[in-house]
Amino acid sequence: MTANTDIRYLKGVGAKRAEILKGKGIDTVGALLRFFPRKYLDWTDITAVKDALPNQNVCIKAKIATPIETVETRRGITLYKFIASDKTDRFAVTLFNQRFLAEKLKYGCEYLFYGKFDENLILRQMNSPIIKEVSFNRIEPIYNASKNMSSATIQKLVKTALSTVEMPEVLNNKIRTENRLCDINYALWNIHFPKTRDSFEMAKKRLVFEELFCLQTALSVLKTKSHSLSGCVIKNNCFSEFQKMLPFELTDAQKRVVEECICDMRSGRPMSRLVQGDVGSGKTAVAAALCFVAAKNGYQSALMAPTEILAEQHYKTFCSILKNTGINCALLTGALTQKQKTQVKNQLNNGEIDVIIGTHALIVNDVEFNNLGLVITDEQHRFGVAQRGKLAEKGNNPHTLVMSATPIPQTLAHILYGDLDISIIDMYPKGRQKVDTYCVDSSYRQRIYNYIKKFLNQGRQGYIVCPLVEENEELDLTSATEYYEDLKKNEFKDYSLGLLHGKMKPAEKEEVMQKFARGEILLLISTTVIEVGIDVPNAVIMVIENAERFGLSQLHQLRGRIGRGEFKSDCILISDSKSPETQKRLDIIKQNSDGFKIADYDLNLRGPGDFLGNRQHGIPQMRIADIFADKNVLITAKKYAEYVLNQDPTLSSPENKPLKDEVKEIYKKLNQC
Ligand code: ADP
Ligand code: MG
């Protein structure tokens, strides 16, 4: 049995469990070993009862000081109650319906209790603690369990796997010695079953390094051939000609960024540049300027957007800006008929089309260009690194530009996006409407509905955003689906409503968004999937339910959907959370409109792990590393990745075989995210 053995063949697994594990992304024994615990319960770290703070998890070692009393409640719940004590104090324990556990416990014996005390001052109270024999003095791993597979089961399987296979070593001796990293098998044992806190730290350090090292190796291999010569040198700088055609004056920031790009495009090397600009900063006009310049110099350009609706939106914008210039724009998306597609492809091939705007449809194999000189990807975090490269391969070292509204600290962007240079649009177009933001609790709901109706009656549109798709019984959160049904039947029965969430098929989502863009839907009930970059200037109101559930950057991105037209726009955040932290966070959103500033606060308040929420950066989700907190490791790992690739560019030596396998895995994920 090796790391690559199908998980089904691990002792204790079988067909049914294999199915469940595969659902968690665990296909092989090796993948199981890299399924790390979500958290740990430290049964070695004992707190004295008198020192325990309320509402914090503690481990207590105490004797059961009274016989266990059984109480039947009227609602049919059986309670088991007793008093326990250590040398410092007593506390009351209540178990709910846990008969097996209660029958095992013996009056007068000592146990370990893991749980939280409530704030009762007279006699501390612990409800449903986890209880273990005192001999259980170890650090226990807790795994992401599911309904049909408990953490304890996963724990057992991991132990079997650890004793059955030796994992191959991805980090060679030199790297391990120079960075003081333990070997892989020690690391895996101690990340799952830490002997001590120190051995856990050793294990974690090594696994973080390994993960970032493999990521960097994968990214380096993918890096486009940016040091070769470009065949697409821009000789004629006709930017001023472009500016004259525009219905508005570009901001100084837009002009600077275009000039930076043109400078690259004249240099004789292919441009590789990332443009970061907050929502609404006007990235599309920058893209249009560069396509214009490329076309005037005889080169074709391609602009790739993540969705059909965004592609169509860009197409319309480009057509209106570039009309009367003789520059020929076209659209290529999955929505075209076969015949239309064939026609567009022919015209691309023979050079009749100067600027092509499209979706993933652009990277299909049979799309061929005549003279592709410039490749732009919009909302780049929505594309895998690999996809970007694929489009560029269709030209002869074309210039590439990626545009993103996700504010990533610069140093990090440099590392994550390899060789990209960075330009920032740090200014908004004049006359942009400031969005007023209000924070209220749900007692205002009726008033909010009336407020929304006032706008809808004037012909404006709006959004209501909820955190979840389906009802969740544990957390009292508003779900988009139920909310939509309810509003449609009752409060908003006279209005055209739409529902949008991530579990819908892409085509269904697209259709709803189209209807909203055309004004056929007035009020859109949605989860956070509302398209980044969508421009519906008629939408002027956004209500966000359970606002405390969203990250600051996420709230900011959402809010960027409104305030895009001539009308005054309002954003209303609803939250019943009384926690001072929540209030502070919502205040920040209320008082700030600068995405980079908000991102900074976000980073500080939430901790780096959550910063970008759901994989907004086009980098696969990390298992253990945190690209923000572990930034320094990332920099070191990059150095070593380059070193290894210098020695063995194709990773074909036997020593590098395990690394090559890992890199292949990362490609798969890069292509998915
Ligand atoms: P984003 O950077 O979020 O992609 P867009 O390119 O969609 O922003 O631009 C947002 C809106 O601002 C569009 O309606 C666009 O026409 C307008 N706009 C862009 N640049 C300017 C400018 N310099 N002056 C006035 N309006 C502008
Ligand atoms: Mg945009």
Ligand 1 lined by 405 (C-beta under 6 Å) = yes
Minimum CA distance residue for ligand 1 atom 20: 282
Give 359 Cα–ligand 2 centroid separation in angstroms. Answer: 14
Ligand 1 lined by 216 (C-beta under 6 Å) = no
Ligand 1 lined by 277 (C-beta under 6 Å) = yes
pLDDT for the residue numbered 384: 58
| 366 and 447 co-located in one domain | no
- In this structure, is residue 380 part of a structural domain? yes
Give 378 Cα–ligand 2 centroid separation in angstroms. Answer: 7
Cα dist from 214 to 220, 393, 634, whole Å: 10, 24, 10
Closest atom, ligand 1, to C-alpha of 251:
23
Helix or strand run (H / E) with residue 481: helix 480-489
For ligand 2, a single-atom ion, the residues with CB < 5 A are 533
Number of domains in the chain: 3
Minimum CA distance residue for ligand 1 atom 12: 282
The ligand placed nearest to the CA atom of residue 249 is 1
Alpha helices in 523-608 (DSSP H): 552-559, 580-591, 595-606
Structural domain including 71 reads 45-137
Distance CA 134, CA 178 (A): 41
Ligand 1 lined by 519 (C-beta under 6 Å) = no
Residue to mutate, 239, 250, 530, 535, ligand 1, most ligand atoms under 8 Å from C-beta: 535
Could you say which DSSP state residue 233 is in? -
Ligand 1 lined by 557 (C-beta under 6 Å) = no
The ligand placed nearest to the CA atom of residue 276 is 1
| 242 and 348 co-located in one domain | yes
- In this structure, is residue 192 part of a structural domain? no
Closest atom, ligand 1, to C-alpha of 249:
23
- Percent helix, strand and coil across the chain, each to the nearest 5: 40, 20, 40
Give 309 Cα–ligand 1 centroid separation in angstroms. Answer: 17
Minimum CA distance residue for ligand 1 atom 21: 429
Ligand 1 lined by 563 (C-beta under 6 Å) = no
Alpha helices in 125-280 (DSSP H): 151-164, 173-178, 184-192, 197-222, 239-245, 252-266
Ligand 1 lined by 283 (C-beta under 6 Å) = yes
Give 313 Cα–ligand 1 centroid separation in angstroms. Answer: 12
Ligand 1 lined by 424 (C-beta under 6 Å) = no
- In this structure, is residue 359 part of a structural domain? yes
Which residue pairs from 322-325 have beta carbons closer than 8 angstroms and sit at least 24 positions apart in sequence? 322/245, 322/288, 322/291, 322/292, 322/355, 324/245, 325/245, 325/292, 325/295
How many Å is the maximal CA-CA distance in the chain?
92
Distance CA 500, CA 531 (A): 10
Structural contact between residues 60 and 45, judged by C-beta atoms closer than 8 angstroms:
no
The ligand placed nearest to the CA atom of residue 379 is 2
- In this structure, is residue 564 part of a structural domain? yes
* Of 539, 565, 592, the domain-final residue: 592
- Determine how many CB atoms are found less than 10 A away from the CB of residue 356: 27
Give 379 Cα–ligand 2 centroid separation in angstroms. Answer: 7
* Of 535, 562, 592, the domain-final residue: 592
* Of 358, 385, 404, the domain-final residue: 404
Structural contact between residues 29 and 10, judged by C-beta atoms closer than 8 angstroms:
yes
Ligand 1 lined by 535 (C-beta under 6 Å) = yes
| 364 and 263 co-located in one domain | yes
Q: Which of 628, 626, 623, 620 is nearest to 671 (CA)?
A: 620
Q: Which two tokens stand for residue 173?
A: 């001796």
Q: CB under 8 Å to 297, separation ≥6 — which residues? A: 232, 234, 235, 236, 373
Give 642 Cα–ligand 2 centroid separation in angstroms. Answer: 34
Residue to mutate, 243, 244, 248, 290, ligand 1, most ligand atoms under 8 Å from C-beta: 248
| 312 and 393 co-located in one domain | yes
Closest atom, ligand 1, to C-alpha of 281:
2
| 375 and 239 co-located in one domain | yes
Could you say which DSSP state residue 416 is in? H
Ligand 1 lined by 279 (C-beta under 6 Å) = yes
| 449 and 394 co-located in one domain | no
Ligand 1 lined by 281 (C-beta under 6 Å) = yes
Minimum CA distance residue for ligand 1 atom 10: 280
Closest atom, ligand 1, to C-alpha of 565:
14
Handedness of CA 435, 440, 444, 446 (dihedral sign): positive
- In this structure, is residue 241 part of a structural domain? yes
pLDDT for the residue numbered 361: 86
* Positions of the chain with pLDDT under 70: 222-230, 380-389, 407-419, 469-478, 531-533, 603-620, 670-673
| 344 and 459 co-located in one domain | no
Give 398 Cα–ligand 2 centroid separation in angstroms. Answer: 22
| 389 and 318 co-located in one domain | yes
Burial 189-215 (b: 16+ CB within 10 A, else e): bbbbbbeeeebbebbbbbbbbbbbbbb
| 307 and 390 co-located in one domain | yes
Cα dist from 62 to 82, 138, 214, 580, whole Å: 12, 17, 46, 35
- In this structure, is residue 183 part of a structural domain? no
pLDDT for the residue numbered 18: 95
In the chain the first and final C-alpha atoms are separated, in Å, by 31
- In this structure, is residue 390 part of a structural domain? yes
What one-letter code names the amino acid at 385? V
Give 447 Cα–ligand 1 centroid separation in angstroms. Answer: 33
The ligand placed nearest to the CA atom of residue 317 is 1
The ligand placed nearest to the CA atom of residue 377 is 2
- Tell me the CATH number at 338: 3.40.50.300
| 249 and 394 co-located in one domain | yes
- In this structure, is residue 364 part of a structural domain? yes
pLDDT for the residue numbered 408: 66
Q: For residue 292, is it left (φ>0), alpha (ψ between -120 and 50) or beta?
A: alpha
pLDDT for the residue numbered 241: 94
Distance CA 391, CA 304 (A): 9
| 368 and 481 co-located in one domain | no
Give 428 Cα–ligand 1 centroid separation in angstroms. Answer: 8
| 492 and 577 co-located in one domain | yes
Q: Strands 436-440 and 523-526: what pairing? A: unpaired
Nearest-10 crossing angle of helices 308-322, 506-518: 40
Minimum CA distance residue for ligand 1 atom 13: 282
